[in-house]
C-alpha cells in the first residue's frame, strides 16, 4: 500500500470519528435536556414523578424500537443523510415541547423524539465499521463512545444554568439550535464509505450494504444476529447496564436535590462528573479489552459491572455525605458503568461483522432502552411512593444480575473480517 493511500485513509478515518462524535453528542442535547428541566417542570406545572417517569419510559421504549428498526434500515441507506434527518426532527420536537404545557402533549412529542433519536446511533456504527478495521475497533470505538458522555455532560451543565437563568422552556429551545448546527456538520463533514473517496473497502470481496438484495440480507441477519446466541445474551445484559446508567442520567438532578438537598446547578455538575469519569472508563475498558483480553469485551464487562455495583452500594449507604465525597463515589460508579455501555456495542458489531453491525447494535439497543420501564417509570414510582433510598438500593441487584448475564458470553470472541489492514487500503483501480 502506498503512503499516499494510507495517509488518505487515515485522514478520513479520523475525520469520520470526530464528526460522528460531535454529531452524536448533539443528539444528547435534544434528549437529556428533559432530565434537567424536570424539577422546574414539577414546581411550575405540578407534574408528578410517576407522570414524568411514564414519559421517560415511553420515550425510551420508542427509542429502543427505533434503534432496532432503524438499525436494519441504516445497513442499507446513506448514513449521513439518515443521521442528519433524525437530528433535525429531534430539534423540532424540542421546540414544540418547550412551547407546551400539557402532559399529553409532552408525552406525544417526547415519544416522537424517541423515534427520531433512534436514527442517530445505527448510522454511526455503520460508518465506523466501514472506516475502522476490527482489530482496532474496541480501542477506537471506545474513543468514539465518549461522545455519549461528552454530550450528556455538556447538556446537564449548560441546562442547569439555563434553567436557573431563563426558565425550563429555554432548556429545550437552545439545545435545539445546537442540534441544527450538528446536523449541518454531519451533512457536510462525512463520507459514507472508503469507496466514496476513491479507496477500496476494508471488507474486500464482499458485497456492501446497499448492494445486498433482500434474500442475502435476511440470510445475514438470521445467521449473524437473530440466530447468534451471543448477540441475545449481550442484548439482555445491556438491559441491566442501561438501568444503572439511566437511573443517574435521567433522575440524577431530581434525586440529588430531593434526597441529598443539592442545588440544581451543583447537581448538574455532579451528573456531569459521572459522565466525565465515564469517558475515562470507556477509554480504559476499550484499551484493556484489546490489550489484555484479545478483543473479548464481555469479560471486561463482568468486572466493570461488579465494580459499578460496589460504588453504587457505597453511594446508597452514605447518609448525608459531603458533596465532594458523594461526587467522587458517584463518579466512580460512572467510570465502571460506561465500560460495558461502550463494549456491548463494540462486541455486538464485531460478532455480527460489518455486514450486520447496525442491525446487531439495533437489537442490543432495543433491550437497553427497554430498561426505561425500570429506570423511568419504575424508579419514579418507587421514589414517589416509597423513597429515593429504596429506588437507588434496587440498582445494586440489577448490577449483580447484569454481571452474571455477561458471564454467559465469557467464551465469545469476534468473528471479525480479514485483519490484514495494509492490504485492504488501496485505491480502486
Give the angle 25-31-36 at the CA atoms, nearest 5°.
105
Burial class (CB in 10 A: 0-12, 13-18, 19+), 411: exposed
Going by pLDDT thresholds of 50, 70 and 90, the confidence category of residue 398 is very high
Q: Whole-model pTM above 0.85?
A: no
Give the per-residue pLDDT at 211. Answer: 46
State how far the alpha carbon of 407 is from the alpha carbons of 56, 213, 231, in Å.
Answer: 30, 36, 13
pLDDT reading at 426 higher than 60: no
Give the per-residue pLDDT at 204. Answer: 46
Q: CA 337, CA 283: separation in Å to the nearest integer?
A: 12
pLDDT reading at 55 higher than 80: yes
Residue-averaged pLDDT of the chain: 82
Residues 6+ apart with CB under 8 A from 56: 34, 250, 372, 375, 376, 377, 380
pLDDT reading at 209 higher than 50: no
Contact 142, 342 (CB under 8 A): yes
pLDDT reading at 59 higher than 60: yes
pLDDT reading at 349 higher than 70: yes
State how far the alpha carbon of 267 is from the alpha carbons of 52, 275, 380, in Å.
Answer: 18, 12, 18
pLDDT reading at 95 higher than 80: yes
| Domain residue limits, the chain | 13-192+216-416
Whole-angstrom distance between the N-terminal and C-terminal Cα of the chain? Answer: 13
Cα torsion through 247, 95, 117, 60, rounded to 10 = 40
Q: CA 423, CA 405: separation in Å to the nearest integer?
A: 38
Give the per-residue pLDDT at 172. Answer: 94
Going by pLDDT thresholds of 50, 70 and 90, the confidence category of residue 109 is very high
Of 426 and 296, which is predicted with more confidence?
296
Q: CA 401, CA 242: separation in Å to the nearest integer?
A: 12
Where is average pLDDT lowest: 106-115, 142-151, 213-222, 312-321?
213-222
Give strand pairing partners of 199.
427
Give the per-residue pLDDT at 424. Answer: 46
Give the per-residue pLDDT at 1. Answer: 52
Using only C-alpha atoms, the chain has a radius of gyration, in whole angstroms, of 21
Helices (H), 353-424: 357-370, 372, 379-385, 388-407, 421-424
Q: What percent of the chain has pLDDT over 70?
A: 90
- pLDDT, tens only, 255-310: 777 777 777 777 778 888 888 888 888 888 888 887 888 778 888 999 999 999 99
Burial class (CB in 10 A: 0-12, 13-18, 19+), 189: middle
Give the per-residue pLDDT at 207. Answer: 45
CATH architecture entry for 13-192+216-416: Up-down Bundle (1.20)
Count of CB atoms situated within 10 Å of the CB of 188: 10
- pLDDT, tens only, 157-181: 888 889 888 989 999 999 999 999 9
pLDDT reading at 408 higher than 50: yes
Contact 293, 299 (CB under 8 A): yes
State how far the alpha carbon of 154 is from the alpha carbons of 3, 160, 168, 291, in Å.
Answer: 39, 10, 16, 31
Amino acid at each position: 500500500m502506498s503512503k499516499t493511500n494510507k495517509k488518505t485513509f487515515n485522514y478520513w478515518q479520523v475525520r469520520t470519528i470526530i464528526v460522528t462524535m460531535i454529531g452524536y453528542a448533539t443528539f444528547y442535547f435534544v434528549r437529556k435536556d428533559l432530565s434537567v428541566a424536570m424539577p422546574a417542570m414539577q414546581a411550575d406545572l405540578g407534574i408528578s414523578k410517576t407522570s414524568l417517569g411514564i414519559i421517560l419510559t415511553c420515550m425510551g421504549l420508542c427509542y429502543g424500537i427505533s434503534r432496532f428498526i432503524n438499525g436494519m434500515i441504516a445497513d442499507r441507506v446513506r448514513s449521513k443523510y439518515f443521521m442528519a434527518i433524525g437530528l433535525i426532527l429531534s430539534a423540532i420536537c424540542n421546540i414544540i415541547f418547550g412551547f407546551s404545557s400539557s402532559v399529553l402533549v409532552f408525552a406525544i412529542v417526547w415519544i416522537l423524539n424517541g423515534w427520531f433519536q433512534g436514527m442517530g446511533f445505527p448510522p454511526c456504527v455503520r460508518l465506523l465499521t466501514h472506516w475502522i478495521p476490527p482489530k482496532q475497533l474496541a480501542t477506537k470505538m471506545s474513543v468514539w463512545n465518549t461522545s455519549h458522555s461528552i454530550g450528556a455532560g455538556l447538556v446537564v451543565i449548560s441546562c442547569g444554568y439555563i434553567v436557573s437563568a431563563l426558565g425550563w422552556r429555554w432548556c429545550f429551545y437552545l439545545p435545539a439550535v445546537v442540534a441544527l448546527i450538528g446536523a449541518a456538520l454531519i451533512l457536510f463533514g462525512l463520507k459514507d464509505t472508503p469507496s466514496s473517496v476513491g479507496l477500496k473497502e476494508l471488507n474486500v470481496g464482499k458485497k456492501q450494504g446497499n448492494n445486498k438484495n433482500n434474500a442475502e440480507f435476511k440470510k445475514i441477519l438470521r445467521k449473524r444476529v437473530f440466530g447468534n446466541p451471543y448477540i441475545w445474551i449481550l442484548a439482555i445484559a445491556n438491559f441491566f447496564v442501561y438501568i444503572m446508567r439511566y437511573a443517574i442520567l435521567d433522575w440524577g438532578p431530581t434525586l440529588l436535590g430531593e434526597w441529598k438537598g443539592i442545588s440544581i446547578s451543583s447537581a448538574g455538575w455532579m451528573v456531569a462528573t459521572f459522565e466525565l469519569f465515564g469517558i475515562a472508563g470507556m477509554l480504559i475498558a476499550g484499551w484493556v479489552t484489546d490489550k489484555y483480553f484479545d478483543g473479548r469485551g464481555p469479560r471486561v464487562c463482568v468486572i466493570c459491572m461488579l465494580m459499578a455495583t460496589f460504588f453504587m452500594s457505597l453511594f446508597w449507604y452514605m447518609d448525608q455525605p459531603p458533596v465532594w465525597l458523594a461526587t467522587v463515589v458517584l463518579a466512580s460508579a460512572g467510570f465502571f458503568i460506561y465500560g460495558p455501555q461502550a463494549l456491548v456495542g463494540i462486541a455486538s458489531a464485531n460478532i455480527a461483522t460489518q455486514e450486520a453491525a447496525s442491525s446487531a447494535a439495533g437489537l442490543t439497543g432495543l433491550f437497553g432502552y427497554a430498561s426505561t420501564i425500570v429506570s423511568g417509570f419504575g424508579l419514579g414510582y418507587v421514589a414517589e411512593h416509597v423513597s429515593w433510598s429504596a429506588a437507588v438500593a434496587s440498582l445494586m441487584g440489577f448490577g449483580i444480575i447484569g454481571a452474571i448475564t455477561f458471564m454467559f458470553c465469557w467464551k465469545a470472541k469476534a468473528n471479525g473480517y480479514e485483519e490484514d489492514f495494509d492490504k485492504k487500503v488501496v485505491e480502486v483501480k
